Amino acid sequence: MLVVSAEVSKALSADQPVVALESTLISHGLPFPKNLELALQIENDIRAGGCIPATIAVLNGQIHVGLSTDQIEFLATGKDILKLNASDVALCASQKKTGATTVAGTMLCAHLAGIRFFATGGIGGVHRGAEQSFDISQDLTAFRQYPVAVVTAGAKSLLDLPKTLEVLETYGVPVIGYQTQEFPSFWSRSSGLPLTWRIDTPQEMALMARTHWQSGQASGLVIANPIPQEFEIPASDIETALQTALADASAAGLRGKPVTPYLLGRLRALLPATASSNIELIRHNARTGAAIAQAYYKG
């Protein structure tokens, strides 16, 4: 069921740094050809950082860790590709189907392959109104289950960020600010939510990750890496646009799963700069992930 590419397998066997990448970004994130261009660009960013990229997906019932350019292009152009949380991966494989992995699904597959580091855009979390809907992302459960360090620009402010941090704390998942003392909110560098732990160098971060796992902890880590300042969108602008999008969603009678993609679409329409900010923060996370993975395997 698990197919690890020759390049990734060789690196893991030689104890060389590998950084995992999700595939939902390719099949459900951006339109073609931007999705293909970005997928290949972040792989190049990781290679430039001295690491091997391992984009992950389920293809025809097999978990592939490390994709070829042809396979990435298939995901970028394919139709009816499933979106796989951790709970969906085995089901998709058993049915010989194809799907792109979310943060949670990628963490599961990275763990199966023995990969410690993963760079993504933003993590899922507790949705606004979860006290009624109980809508909480599987990403948070995955952090409790899989010992993978995830470099992320925080979580989108359309989520309930205070509750998201509370759940991570309950699950015993460290949230570490990378060159910041505040939890970033994806497009914005700040959220107003302070973090206990701040780390400023890849070497310090690598040491913290190693010590965390050597101490017997089985959880992952959230490495909160703010979007570069020149690409951020002020939190007040995001919140204003989000309130408009929420009102539109309510007027349309949307509930449950359709709400999030609708809100993201409306935010893109109301704030076109979010599209370019998305790309820059993902690339920034890839570069940061490569630097930390390098330091981890050199140490």
Interval 15-66: pLDDT, tens: 999 999 999 999 999 899 999 999 999 999 999 999 999 999 999 999 999 9
Domains: count for the chain: 1
Type of residue numbered 85? N
Instruction: Label residue 214 exposed, middle or buried (CB < 10 Å: 0-12, 13-18, 19+).
Output: exposed
Residue type for position 297:
Y
Concatenating the DSSP letter of every residue in 161-184 gives HHHHHHHHHHTT--EEEES-SB--
Choosing from 43, 73, 156, 232, the catalytic residue is 156
- Structural domain harbouring 66: 2-298
pLDDT in tens, the chain (299 residues): 999 999 999 999 999 999 999 999 999 998 999 999 999 999 999 999 999 999 999 999 999 999 999 999 999 999 999 999 999 999 999 999 999 999 999 999 999 999 999 999 999 999 988 888 888 999 999 999 999 999 999 999 889 999 999 999 999 999 999 999 999 999 999 999 999 999 999 999 999 999 999 999 999 999 999 999 999 999 999 999 999 999 999 899 988 778 888 998 999 999 999 999 999 999 999 999 999 999 999 97
Q: What is the pLDDT of residue 22?
A: 98
How far is residue 46's CA from residue 21's CA, in Å, rounded to a whole number?
Answer: 10
C-alpha 147/C-alpha 125 separation (Å) is 18
Check residue 129 and give its pLDDT: 87
pLDDT value, residue 72: 98
Q: Which amino acid is at 168?
A: L
**Sign for the pseudo-dihedral over CA of 191, 197, 200, 206:** negative
**156 carries an active-site annotation:** yes
- The catalytically annotated residue of 22, 43, 73, 232 is 22
To the query of whether residue 239 is one of the catalytic residues in this protein, the response is no
- Kindly report the CATH number assigned to the domain that includes residue 239: 3.40.1790.10
From 237, 268, 292, select the one nearest 119 (Cα to Cα). Answer: 292
Taking Cα atoms as reference points, which of 236, 235, 127, 242 lies closest to residue 184? 235
Mean pLDDT of all residues in the chain?
96
Which pLDDT does position 255 carry in this prediction?
A: 80
Extract long-range pairs of 248-254: CB within 8 Å, 24+ residues apart.
none
C-alpha to C-alpha distances, 298 to 19, 115, 138, 149, 293, nearest whole angstrom: 15, 15, 32, 17, 9
Rounded Cα gap, residues 107 and 195, in angstroms: 23
